[in-house]
Chains A and B, each alone.
Chain A
Amino acid sequence: MKIITTVFCMAMLAGAAVAADKPNPNARPGGTWASIAKLPDWSGVWDPALGRPRPGDAPPAPPKLTPAYAAQYAAFQEKNRKTPGLNFVTEVANCVPAGLPGSMLQPYPIEFLFTPGRVTVIIETYSVVRRIYTDGRPLPADPDPSYQGSSIGRWEGDTLVVETTGILPKTSVLGGVLGHGEQLRITERMRLIEPDLLEIKTTREDPTMFIEPYTTTARYQRHRDWEIMEYVCAQNNRDQLDEHGNASIDLERKPGE
């Protein structure tokens, strides 16, 4: 009897401690299956609507960069003007996945899975998975840097606001510019602007790179009848960089191919 009482008391104390330390994750939007049913319907597969600006769209504003990165960015722009396509070559040609936010801007589609306390994004290109915790936990204080970083999210009405830190500094957050500061912070605001059109506004903050936060907007078209395909980049990649880091192509067929 004494043992039972002790266990009971410990459980009560533990419960009280949890209640005092953090909010009940079940109470947050998307915290339970019942709550998920009240969230916007993001089912289906979403095609990045790249190259389809709408009438009235302003051209994207150029980023305001610190001098070191501005020089790198201008050099890329100049090189690309002279020879379109002869431009930015990164490790992605060697099948290393793009980091956030580039991973969300690939040409192939993405999908969303809602489970209690979490939104999962599956990105077809390079078969990337992002785990966005919506259970109220804070961002980790000292995350191991990774390609997609560490993400938390919260629902503000019908908008999912996602904050991400801990992105590997060697990834690219801007075309033509390699690398960024360790303190890079990405904020994404995701919402439906039409029944089948998802908008994601992506803000990049990194004082070593941007003089002021830089925001871009992407749109994704829903296709309910599509499925995410397998994408194993190493399956037949003949576009590895050459020994100088330049674009190349391998035309040699191996026996049996």
Chain B
Amino acid sequence: MKTRALAILSVLALLAVACGQKPGVHARGVAQGLTGIPGAGTGAVFDPETGQYVDPTTGQVVDPGTGTAVGGTTTAPAAGNPGGTSTGAGAASAGSVGKEIVIGLHAPVTGAAPVRSDSFNTGKDLYWNFGNKGKKVTVHGRTVKVVFRDDRYNPSTARAKCQELAEGEKAFLLIGGAGTDQIKACADYAAANGIPYLSAGVLEDALRGNPYYFALSMSYKQQGKLLAQYIKKRLPCRPSCSVMAIVTDTANFDDALQGFQAAYGNNVTVVRPSKSARGSQYADDVCADVANQPDVVFPLTSPTFFLELEGSAACDPQYVGVGVSMGLDTVANVGCASSTGSMNGAKFFSPSYSYDEVNRQRSAPDKAFKRAGGYDDIQFLLWGLMRTIHQMLDETGPNLSRQSFIAAVQGSSFKSEVFPDLKYSPNNHFGASTVHVLRADCSKRAFVTEAKNRSGF
């Protein structure tokens, strides 16, 4: 009796599998309609694995403009379902919206980042609730809702959360808050499903070919060149400062490190800790060799790693860096509290300027933000981000779909007055060319703005 039951169950299982692959599921994943989007109208689909456009039925590499085959065939994932994900909500024709636009936002709240979840949860809605001169923002008659998910600083979780946001919450577009590996994972998912995906600039090389991705600030690689200039021209140890670059060992940081090294030249020591290493273990790498302590330390790691490093390091180098999450006041707060005192004067680039500056209320966004009740720099960062998104949605017009959004954004410029000015083109989705420079001021236990909107030093 037992063997027979098992046989019946196995047959049922096989039947279920056969039914699971619904017919036409591949064809639905094809971009259609509007021109101006690579692959649109030709039936070609972008495969993030190989970075090429393929014909979903034949698996052949095609030219996105014309849809004709180019060269050899691609390997497995493209022939059918690129990226191997479901296309339930992914078809580019889906995401045409009704009365409410849903935006999906993911960021690490647990894991290795001290991003406060209460700031995030209040901040994500602040602009949409009060950005219209103190009232709710509508875009061509539609309201906007932001749904947030914690990606736990883990790329596979990020992918699953992005899938949940897109399919479960029916998000129109997705935004990555911070965390390079997670942003890459979600960007791949978004591309395989035709969903616009935006984030502050992080990695560049691997995302250059992704037509659904837009960077809202300079990538780490672009910032690296500016950082090299800054060190050479602005720091007291110039002109020949010895630099130690501590960069987490992930391929997603390789382009940033190479960019920096190419721009800075010699005199850079490179240390690549693993993503799960503790910063305190690397304090000795920096300080133990008393005769050869570096003048400048460039951490490209998680903020927690950096804080552990800074808190355990017995020497006092100048910390500089790029990015999004290093320049947050929580980092300054904790770093300044440590007994080493080396946080004071640390310099980090950031897509938005400091909350200390916002308090001075020198510009319209500052005033609007304060009036809305915003109270920290994370919320202001989100304010600037959402303001940019608002402008993008506005530019797209009342005929809102994912393709029209992409077509509109990649042909326009945007000026949010908080985030850097952005200028996109169909070939360039990295539209920023300026950064703000923040400095840690331990008398205030926060960052202050040293320079705004710099494109060079």
| Same complex | no
Interface residues of A (CB under 8 A from B): none
